[in-house]
Amino acid sequence: MLNELVADILTDFTDEDGNPIAPMDYIERCTMRALPILATDLEIAYRLDGDEVLPHMPGAHRELWLVRSKILVCRYLRAQAAQRVSFSSGDKKIDRSKEAANWAALEKDLEADYLSGVKRINPMADEKLIALDVYPMLYKRGSATD
């Protein structure tokens, strides 16, 4: 299932020659990183066992996994685009000033789709990624208090 998901992501993130615009290992890592996020949001203990997901994942959940993975790929592409500069040489000009903003807009749209899909499947889900039950220690001179 993991390889099929990576193939689905590649259909949207390739250049004119059919080459991936993000490294293949990074796209695969994005799919692996997105699964625990999806599992937390849907409150289902999904896990990878090799290439397969356990327990069996229905189609609607797989689509959300795909969207969450695409969000992570968009973040990578936005970071890469932010480093590129626009330049002109003679009669040729390359303007990359909007490239990072375009990736950010796509990421925002995908995030809205993801959140609406999660709310449809799990209405009790909140928009927090991780809720930690950690309280910091406050130190005062000469003592420690909670």
Could you read off the pLDDT of 41-97 as tens digits, one per residue?
Answer: 888 899 888 888 888 989 899 999 999 999 999 999 998 887 776 667 777 777 677
Residue 122 or 84, more confident: 122
DSSP string, the chain: -HHHHHHHHHHHSB-TTS-BSS-HHHHHHHHHHHHHHHHHHHT---EEETTEEESPPPHHHHHHHHHHHHHHHHHHHHHHHHT---EEETTEEE--TTHHHHHHHHHHHHHHHHHHHHHHH-TT--S-S------PPEEETTEEE-
Residue 16 or 137, more confident: 16
**pLDDT at residue 131 above 60?**
no
**Domain edges within the chain:** 2-140
For residues 105-127, average pLDDT: 88
